[in-house]
Amino acid sequence: MRRLARIAFFFVFLASGAAFAVQPDEMLKDPGLEARARDLSRELRCMVCQNQSIDDSEAPLARDLRVLVRDRLTQGDTNQQVLDFLVARYGEFVLLKPRLEWHTLLLWGLPPAALIAGMVGLFMVMRRSSFTDIEPAALNQEERRRLSTLVESDARDH
């Protein structure tokens, strides 16, 4: 039973690794502002890790960004103002989910367009290749002679 408890503790410890990214000294005393900061941190990309939010990353740059978000919130910025500030400073890449704008249309439109193109292509291939309409070509004289020779030799062997 103890062994099972140790294994369970180990997996819980591994699964909670992201919870250690935000350090206690970064947290705000106001629970409302801290909740807003955590929500914003989940929307922002760590520029070092690139596929993690700054809320999950332990990189020093992610820590700096978390502190910057909290500073902006304590100065009275709205969530949108914080995001706009960071986008102006670091570019659209700082957002984990880019905004739908004219310069991101390709990013948002390419996956559905590829899916539709694949479905149309598959439909056209299936429509063209109707196996019920295919009839085998007739054998010519040489092929018939060769087939009969093969069938006779097989019959003699058995």
Confidence of residue 24 (pLDDT cuts 50, 70, 90): low
d(CA 80, CA 75) in angstroms, rounded, equals 14
d(CA 24, CA 156): 89
CA distance 69 to 85: 10
Per-residue pLDDT averaged across 119-142, rounded? 80
Across the chain, what does the average pLDDT equal?
A: 81
Map out the domains of the chain with their CATH numbers: 2-99 (1.10.8.640), 103-157 (no CATH)
Whole-model pTM?
Answer: 0.54
User: Which residues sit opposite 53 in a β-bridge?
Assistant: 45
Are 53 and 41 spatial neighbours (Cβ–Cβ below 8 Å)?
A: yes
What pLDDT, on the 0 to 100 scale, is given for residue 15?
Answer: 53
Percentage of residues of the chain with pLDDT beyond 90: 19
Name the pLDDT band for 29 (thresholds 50, 70, 90). confident
Contact of 47 with 90, CB cutoff 8 Å: yes
Residue 31 corresponds to which tokens in the numbers above?
Answer: 């629970």
